[in-house]
Amino acid sequence: MRHYYMLFSIMLYLACIGCSKPTVPIEVKYAEIQRLALWSADAQTFTPDRYQGYAAAYSDAKDRFIKENTRFPWLRDYASVREEFRMVLGEGNTILATVKRIKSEKARDFEQRISSLRKEIDSLKNSTSMINEGRLLRKSISKAEVLLTEADSLYKKYDYDAADIKLESVNTYALESMEIAHSILNRYTDKEVVQSWRALVEETIDESKRKGIVVIIVSKIDQNLMVYKKGKIIETYNIGLGRNGLKDKLYAGDGATPEGRYYIVKKNAGSRFYKALLFDYPNKEDRIRFNQAKKKGLIPSGTGIGSLLEIHGGGADGMTKGCISLENKDMDMLFQIVMEGTPVTIVGVTNDNHEILSSIRDI
């Protein structure tokens, strides 16, 4: 019996020597390439359920292919294997298309969010660039900018979850920056306050026109000093303010620049700040406000009202302790124009349509 079996096997082998070996379906190779492409595209993240079904179907097809390969080469039949892999390829193509669509939609969403936040931050930077007391504001804006750059990099790597977390932090810092900006500039958006400033400016210009004299008007938010003669502007200079220059001065050491109507009381050609024009701070109105604030407990214990505030040289880029500084060449010109008794009106802003205030209101 054994001899008959061996003889049969030999005869079968000799009979099939001329048989061609079945070709492995090309779909098997394509499916392997596709599987790697799906993994690289993060299909497991964007379409987890569908990808899990695909992976199971691919595994079944691969098992069938391996099992078929255990048979004698001339007995292999890849028809069912080919069909199974074709189904896998079809599902894989659908998943790839879905992932591409999801990524495209997410990309558009992130691009819009990043663009919107970037415009918001740029607007804040431009609107508050001249605020001396904006240290915390600039720190908050800088953090927002760094996080925005990181979010942009993550989204371009398709790490949308991490990018989303970053953008939420960007939004937090942007809101914080807005609150800081509003806390500094809230007076500047108050119509009654702005109207009172405008009235002071108009009265000063009218006095210049009626009396034919020189007057000085300082706009703190613009950081400029304007010289009028006979009601007409003749010079404009850039200025520096106190470290808390946009605030109205209340007491000594607060770093604020005062607001109101003052007069030059002394010209000092030998000032340690090059040349200086001393004005009469504190005046009667300043003392009344100081005493009222002191009664309310708003003044630190043992703190006085302050004095010796000047318009002086030394550079418009420097921060003062509450004075108004000019470039030395501008101070030379101003020193020649004004005299003791020259009116000086200092206000936050000269008009309520100022572009900086408009941008702050829009934020």
Q: What is the CATH number of the domain that holds 208?
A: 2.40.440.10
Out of 101, 123, 139, pick the residue that ends a domain. 101
- The pLDDT score that the predictor gives to residue 363 is 53
Residues 182 and 303 in one domain: no
Residues 161 and 146 in one domain: yes
Out of 52, 70, 101, pick the residue that ends a domain. 101
- The pLDDT score that the predictor gives to residue 243 is 81
- The pLDDT score that the predictor gives to residue 358 is 57
In a domain, 360, yes or no: no
In a domain, 121, yes or no: yes
pLDDT above 80 for 36 = yes
Residues 204 and 265 in one domain: yes
Of the two residues 129 and 313, the one the predictor is more confident about is 313
- The pLDDT score that the predictor gives to residue 353 is 62
Q: How many domains does the chain have?
A: 3
Q: Which of 220, 192, 191, 198 is nearest to 325 (CA)?
A: 220
In a domain, 12, yes or no: no
Residues 197 and 157 in one domain: no
- The pLDDT score that the predictor gives to residue 130 is 61
In a domain, 2, yes or no: no
In a domain, 251, yes or no: yes
User: Can you give the residue range of the structural domain that contains 39?
Assistant: 21-101
Judge if the upstream peptide bond of residue 25 is cis by omega within 30 degrees of 0. no
Full-prediction pTM beyond 0.75?
Answer: no
Residues 302 and 215 in one domain: yes
In a domain, 333, yes or no: yes
Residues 126 and 248 in one domain: no
Quote the mean pLDDT of the chain.
87
Of the two residues 125 and 110, the one the predictor is more confident about is 110
pLDDT above 50 for 14 = no
Per-residue confidence band for 244, with pLDDT thresholds at 50, 70 and 90: confident
| 259-270 tens-digit pLDDT | 999 999 999 999
Q: Which of 222, 197, 189 is nearest to 346 (CA)?
A: 197
Q: Which of 360, 342, 348, 358 is nearest to 198 (CA)?
A: 348
Per-residue confidence band for 301, with pLDDT thresholds at 50, 70 and 90: confident
Say if strands 224-229 and 276-279 run parallel, antiparallel, or are unpaired.
unpaired
In a domain, 9, yes or no: no
